[in-house]
Structure 1
Amino acid sequence: MNTGIQDSHNLAWKIASVVKGIAPSSILHTYETERRPIAIFNTELSIQNFKAAMTVPAALGLDPTVANSVHQVINEGVGSILPSGLQRAILDGIFTIGRAQLSESLLNEKNPLGSSRLANLRRILEEGKSLQLQFPAEDLGFRYLEGALIPGTDDALGAPEGPTGHRRDYVPSVDPGSRLPHMNVRILSNSSSEVTISTLDLISGDKIEFLLIIAPTDSSYHLAHAAFKVAEEFKVSARVCVLWPAGSVKQVEAGSKALLTPWENCIDVVEVKTSSNPSSWWDLCQMTDKGAILVRPDEHVAWRVKSGVVGDPITEMRRVFSATLGVKLHNSRDQEADR
């Protein structure tokens, strides 16, 4: 189910981009490029999880392979020609034998066979080899290695490790292709109300919009100007989030809108640290506050720079939007020349 929802999330903004004339139809090819490896991985994990779950009834004397064989014989083999009443009688008899394997008279410490089965069951549960229903590392921490994104140049890209069947912790990351991490932030405004949201709430849910997250530094404001300008060239919406460190509320006067004029689609937020997560946003992202993160409409990181853009920010933003949207770079320049 999670995989299917992720598939839809990945594809929806790409279809909308084609329909609205923002991106060519070739962007749809990135759907398979990004999602197929994840789907294969999740399928292997699910099969392995199912097999692990079957070790529990097997340890109690209920062999799943025997149950499957009985099912086939009754429904597809000789049993299928028997009257329905006789079929039910046969199944009831088999179920009676199965239920006997779980009776208290057998499953107790005084019964040698029962004691052995209970010991095997305890070992399976203690080693975490039984059915698991949550895989946070796979549900939240999956990453696209190529597609509608700019691969990182300072990290080693490789295929995700195979499913282990053991629950692993989710580790937040802003490496290109990763899902934007969550952190509670408070919206800074002139009103007296203090609204706390998640960084994930900064992504628009009803339009094709890219989000640029920056710190309140001069170089980052210059980058934001470049992002707005280039986004207009590519006919796509962009929003800038200026993320202030915790405790800097008094330093924010008019906010960032005056510094980003004439563009107005921006928001100032401040970190809300908790005892369970005392890290700053940029520490969480393993970046400096000179860095920047561009997030796609599906909450996945399209591009990030850890310590600031080297060179012309306009040129870099053109490269980023061109690669992400699958639009040839000379097209955007021609459009600008036409204007």
Structure 2
Amino acid sequence: MRFPETTSVLIVGGGPVGLTLSVLLSGYGVPHLLVEAHPGTSQHPKARGVSARSMEIFRRCGLEEEVRRAGLPASQVHFYRGRDLVDPDFVRTGVAGQEGGIERTPSPGLICSQDALEPVLLRRARRLAPDGVRFATRLVAFAEHGDGVHRDAEHGDGVHATVEDRTTGERHTVRADWLVGCDGAASTVREGVGIAMEGPTGLGHFLSVRFEAPLGEVVADRASASYFLTPPGRGGFLAVDNDRHWIYQYPYDPAHEDVARLIADRPRLGELVRDAAGLPDLPVAVRSTLTWRMDARLASAYRRSRVLLAGDAAHAVPPTGGHGMNTGLGDADNLAWKLAAVVAGTAGEALLDSYEAERRPVARQVIDISLANSRARSGYRIDDELLLTAAYRSTAVLTDPASPADPADPADSADSADPTDPTASATPARPALDPEHTHPVGAPGTRLPHLRLAGPSGPASTLDLVGPDFTLLAAATTESVWQPQADTATAAGLPVTVHPLPPALLGEDAPAGAVLVRPDGHIAWRAPHRPADGAHLLIALRQILSTGMARAHP
């Protein structure tokens, strides 16, 4: 198989984030190469919780059902607390779900461990880009040539990377327009561009023991995804299949325990599992071990020229809440369409600056909430739906009034000199993530709300109308008004698909305006009124693609 000499995007790291980015880029038609140093996917469960927002991303990729088949049944997604696995006074709670009877997503989250999820993503990534996914291939070095203004005549603009086939030892040079580091907490890419990580480390040290034991009947009346042990119990259990395959998370103090010696002592590991389970005669077969450290760190920047970071390379999220991987999947979703637009020449490079502006604050908030969870004794304050961007309401998309979290009034904008200009609004502030309260929807910068669409066939949700280009949602009664706007934009090389929404969904007073949705399902622009001229939408699109700013036109 010939190694490519050039590509548009070089992805370093083939975990869930890198593989998802590969799948998304293939969907946008972006040539890319993914290299992963390991010979295959993870053999250890590692991350397990897949949030509703992540499932919406997989739904858009056509992977939702396959991921569900690889995960635990929904009936087992509970949290157990007890002294051990046979504690008669155990407490079992469910995941925070629908509030007030509102269906907030068509794709509820689930538990699907990383060792089961990665093969699903890898199969799809390889099917879409047969020559673009190379495992057992490590990044050796990289350097950037050209600054985007002054061309490097000798090497050509771009990132020049040296990669090594770990099977044959052969080295290859690849020139890429963009390099994305999805290579984890110890990111070679991040270190290579000198981006610092900020925040505390060593908040906890854990030995993760994967083992087999006949525990299915033991937990039959209390089957859960996670089993938290209360004093005098120590650590906790994670269900891989709630039958024979399990993980025991053993907290240790590196100052007083020799974890390397412990790992080498398999009989001792078996004793630890039996003691924690409360079953002294339990037969235990240890299969693998992994040590990990709890950190709460955030990269000082997500981009340095032609190099970008995503996933754990950009943020180390405490696992207390289960949103480390999910935050990374959100990074990939946000970044993929922006890279596609820049590579295609329909967007300026400034669009990539909006990647950090949008994603870094989310990571900051998730880290803070997860860190608070690690210190709480009464349970997590983060639920399965949180990463839907904390913006929900079951009311119509086009009729939501302006609110403090929805700066649609140009009078609130510092740069709104001309209220008739569809681009004369500042980037709206993103509502803070809040596990206990919901926020209005319809504002630029927030996720398009899920509304159930009627009919035995076709799209089941407004989210199914999104992508791969920009999507314009308008009342069916005004389709003839907005379709010419979309045609003008499409003719200018900025494809827009119009989807009329039925009056029954919008109410009797359906507005004459429209909502423009980005390929990642977030609202880019909102116009509550009829367009002022034939290029109204095109002007807004060009501004969004030049700056990354979401827009709310008065």
TM-score (norm 2): 0.32
Structure 1 position 228, deviation (Å):
1.9
Instruction: In structure 1, give the amino acid aligned to 2:473.
Output: I
Match of 2:364 in 1: 40
Aligned partners of 1:231 and 1:321 also within 8 Å: no
For residues 113-192 of structure 1, what are the structure 2 equivalents within 5 Å?
A: 129-134=378-383, 136-141=385-390, 152-153=408-409, 157-158=428-429, 160-161=431-432, 167-171=435-439, 173-186=441-454
Match of 1:16 in 2: 340
Instruction: In structure 2, give the amino acid aligned to 1:215.
Output: A
Size of the aligned set, in residue pairs, is: 196
Instruction: In structure 2, give the amino acid aligned to 1:237.
Output: P
Which structure has the highest helix share of the two?
A: 1
Describe the SS at the equivalent of 2:453.
strand
For residues 60-75 of structure 1, what are the structure 2 equivalents within 5 Å?
A: none
Describe the SS at the equivalent of 2:346.
coil
Match of 1:202 in 2: 465
Match of 2:244 in 1: none
CA deviations 1:43-98 (Å, max 9, x no partner) are 1111111111xx3xxxxxxxxxxxxxxxxxxxxxxxxxxxxxxxxxxxxxxxxxxx
Structure 1 position 37, deviation (Å):
1.3
Structure 1 position 196, deviation (Å):
5.0
Structure 1, unmatched stretches of 5+, are: 56-128, 144-149, 188-192, 247-279, 329-339
Describe the SS at the equivalent of 2:460.
strand
Relative distance call for 1:32 and 1:282 in structure 2 (3 A) is farther
RMSD: 3.1
Query: Distance in 1 between the 2:488 and 2:363 partners?
Result: 37
Describe the SS at the equivalent of 1:325.
helix
Structure 1 position 180, deviation (Å):
0.6
1:214 equivalent to 2:474? Answer yes
- Counterpart of 1:293 (choices 490, 515, 520) is 515
Aligned partners of 1:23 and 1:325 also within 8 Å: yes
Larger gyration radius, structure 1 or structure 2? 1
Relative distance call for 1:10 and 1:301 in structure 2 (3 A) is same
Query: Distance in 1 between the 2:499 and 2:522 partners?
Result: 16
1:302 equivalent to 2:551? Answer no
Instruction: In structure 2, give the amino acid aligned to 1:45.
Output: I
Query: Distance in 2 between the 1:18 and 1:318 partners?
Result: 17
Describe the SS at the equivalent of 1:303.
strand
CA deviations 1:192-219 (Å, max 9, x no partner) are x644511111113xx4x0100111224x
- Counterpart of 2:499 (choices 232, 235, 241) is 241
Query: Distance in 2 between the 1:293 and 1:201 partners?
Result: 15
Match of 1:317 in 2: 537
Instruction: In structure 2, give the amino acid aligned to 1:238.
Output: V
TM-score (norm 1): 0.51
Query: Distance in 2 between the 1:40 and 1:181 partners?
Result: 23
Aligned partners of 2:391 and 2:439 also within 8 Å: no
Aligned partners of 1:10 and 1:298 also within 8 Å: yes
Structure 2, unmatched stretches of 5+, are: 1-324, 393-405, 413-427, 549-554
Higher relative contact order (Cα pairs below 8 Å, separated by 6+ residues): 1
Query: Distance in 1 between the 2:362 and 2:547 partners?
Result: 25
Match of 2:328 in 1: 4
Aligned partners of 2:445 and 2:523 also within 8 Å: yes
